[in-house]
Amino acid sequence: MNNIIQGIASFQGNVFPGQRQMYQQLVRDGQQPSALIIACADSRVSPEHITQAGPGDLFVCRTPATSCPRPPTWSAASSSAIEYAVVALGVRDIVFCGHSDCGAMKGLMNRDLLKRMPSVASWLRHAEAAERIVCEAYPEGRDAQARHHALALENVVVQLANLRTHPSVAAALAKGSLRLHGWFFEIETGALLAYDGANGRFRPIAGADMPVAQDSSTGSRLQAA
Ligand code: ZN
């Protein structure tokens, strides 16, 4: 804990005094984050750090494997975070951020790793569709690293599909007030890929070019009469 204790002292002694007004304004005006980011709980994947966001910029929900349950197994924690972000805060964007070298994805590929972690194993059921896709629809013969990479990418797409079943998300998409994004952070290179829902591919986020997984113009729903 020493590094954490030192960090707190540094924040209170060196950082907060220079940011006091900003924090007080965030209390006075309330938070207005522009996006909800759902990311893996992995300590190397910090949404605030990789987007260089500050206090008040992002509403963040972190779960192992960046998973989003769907009915009837909604997790109260992640479901309420999504609902609060969409309904109370009115975020315009939700981002799912998967990453390389994900321990949860390794557990999905090798269930022996999960034998002593029944809670993790149960949670990873929400990512099982991604595993089935890689096992049954990808060519055999790929090495473990390539399959792990494919699984992590497929998991982002599967979780986006789960997210669309959330009532508050479905309604906001139908109103055109919300966009969905699927990101993949490559820890070792710092690269950030985004899922382009129009052509079903991940591509790098470059400058102002931000691929979108789904907005009001994509996806399937009844057109208004
Ligand atoms: Zn992870």
Tell me the per-residue pLDDT of 38-69, one tens digit each, with 9 for 90 and over: 999 899 999 999 999 999 999 999 887 666 66
Question: Can you give the C-alpha Rg of the chain in angstroms?
Answer: 19
What is the CATH classification number for the domain harbouring 162? 3.40.1050.10
Q: Could you tell me the distance, in angstroms and rounded to a whole number, from the CA of residue 25 to the centre of ligand 1?
A: 34
Same domain for 150 and 196, yes or no, is yes
Asked whether the predicted pLDDT for residue 7 surpasses 90, the reply is yes
Number of domains in the chain: 2
The answer to whether residue 136 is domain-embedded is yes
Looking at residue 74, what is its pLDDT?
58
Distance CA 98, CA 151 (A): 10
218 occurs within a structural domain:
no
61, 76 contact by CB (below 8 A): no
pLDDT tens for residues 127-182?
888 888 888 888 777 788 888 899 999 999 999 998 998 999 999 999 999 999 99
Q: Is residue 213 part of a domain?
A: no
> 224 pLDDT exceeds 70?
no
Distance 192 CA to ligand 1 centre (A): 15
Structure confidence at residue 92 (pLDDT):
95
Co-location of 63 and 80 in the same domain: yes
Q: Are residues 118 and 62 in the same domain?
A: yes
Q: Are residues 11 and 111 in the same domain?
A: no
Same domain, 47 and 130: yes
Question: What digits encode the pLDDT tens for the residues 168-217?
Answer: 999 999 999 999 999 999 999 999 999 999 999 999 998 888 889 988 66
Domain around 187: 31-204
Report which of 105, 202, 97 is spatially closest to residue 148, judged by C-alpha positions: 105
Coil vs helix vs strand at 95 = strand
The pLDDT value recorded for residue 131 is: 85
Based on the domain organization, do 93 and 61 belong to the same domain? Answer: yes
* Stretch 105-127: mean pLDDT: 81
Neighbours of ion ligand 1 (CB under 5 A): 40, 42, 102, 104
The reply to whether 163 and 192 lie within a common domain is yes
Helix (H), strand (E) at residue 192:
strand 192-196
**Position 76 pLDDT exceeds 70:** no
Residue 82 Cα to ligand 1 middle (Å): 19
Instruction: Using the mean position of ligand 1's atoms as its centre, give its distance from the Cα of residue 98 in Å.
Output: 7
Considering the domain architecture, whether residues 90 and 154 belong to the same structural domain is answered as yes
Q: Are 197 and 209 in contact (CB under 8 A)?
A: no
As a whole number of angstroms, the distance between CA 178 and CA 94 comes to 8
Residue 70 pLDDT exceeds 70: no
